[in-house]
């Protein structure tokens, strides 16, 4: 059966439209990745804080960032992982103090570290990488006057979606692994009290404007 030129062009047009629709659908699905959405929401607040940083003392930045940091990171899980197997041997009151001071230090670190704005922006890949039950969200801090920095987030499922449990600086350096090494040394030398005191002092130092 012969197909006329007009019909052939129409079929080709429908075929191309189908490809475009499928591509748009895939992109939309990727954009809707809840793990990616979580990190993008964090970056929105972080970037806004950076832009206002010069008119905000560090404690004001802390107050602005605290809700989104706690919403983005599973701080209790991160604390337990950083402490390691000895967590179960630590008294409940000391566990509570460690959870409190680890969370406080985490927020203080962001409030202190991101203290200005020079045209930086964050780029987040639209789809997270599946890693067993977890995902890795790939992102980059783009700096006009410096090399871009890869910041990848290991996120895991929680009751209200996804939360980060580790950050990989330059794509490979685990922040939690560094913390675990530091915490282990303090626990061996002075027990939970030494670690709690160290976390408190470090946060206090970061929050001096």
Domain boundaries of the chain, sorted by first residue: 31-204
pLDDT of 23-69, one tens digit each? 444 444 445 799 999 999 999 999 999 999 999 999 999 999 999 99
The model's pTM = 0.83
Instruction: Tell whether the torsion through CA atoms of 169, 175, 178 and 182 is positive or negative.
Output: positive
Interhelix angle 92-113/75-83, nearest 10 degrees: 110
Contact 80, 95 (CB under 8 A): no
What's the CATH architecture for 31-204?
Roll (3.10)
DSSP for 105-140 reads: HHHHHHHHH----SS-EEEE-SSPEEETTEEEEEEE
Q: According to the model, what pLDDT value does residue 170 have? A: 86
Model confidence band, residue 95 (pLDDT cutoffs 50, 70, 90) = very high
Distances (CA, A) of 204 to 94, 95, 111, 208: 19, 20, 12, 7
Q: According to the model, what pLDDT value does residue 195 have? A: 98
pLDDT of 123-147, one tens digit each? 999 999 999 999 999 999 999 989 9
pLDDT of 2-26, one tens digit each? 445 555 554 454 444 444 344 444 4
- Higher-confidence residue of 109 and 32: namely 109
């Amino acid at each position: 059966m012969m197909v006329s030129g007009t019909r052939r062009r129409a079929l080709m047009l429908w075929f191309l439209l189908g490809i475009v629709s499928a591509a748009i659908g895939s992109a939309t699905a990727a954009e809707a990745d809840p793990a990616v959405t979580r990190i993008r929401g964090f970056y929105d607040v972080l970037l806004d804080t950076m832009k206002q940083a010069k008119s905000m003392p560090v404690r004001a930045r802390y107050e602005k960032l605290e809700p989104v940091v706690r919403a983005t990171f599973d701080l209790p899980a991160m604390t337990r992982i950083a402490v390691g197997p000895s967590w179960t041997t630590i008294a409940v009151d000391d566990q509570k103090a460690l959870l409190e001071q680890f969370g406080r230090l985490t927020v203080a670190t962001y409030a202190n570290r991101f203290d200005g704005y020079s045209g930086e922006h964050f780029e987040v890949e639209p789809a997270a990488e599946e890693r067993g039950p977890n995902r890795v969200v790939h992102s980059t801090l783009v700096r006009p006057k410096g090399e871009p920095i890869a910041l990848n987030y290991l996120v895991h499922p929680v009751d209200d979606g996804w939360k980060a449990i580790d950050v990989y600086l330059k794509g490979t350096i685990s922040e939690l692994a560094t913390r675990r090494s530091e915490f282990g040394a303090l626990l061996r030398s002075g027990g939970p009290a030494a670690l709690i005191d160290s976390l408190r002092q470090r946060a206090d130092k970061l929050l001096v404007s």
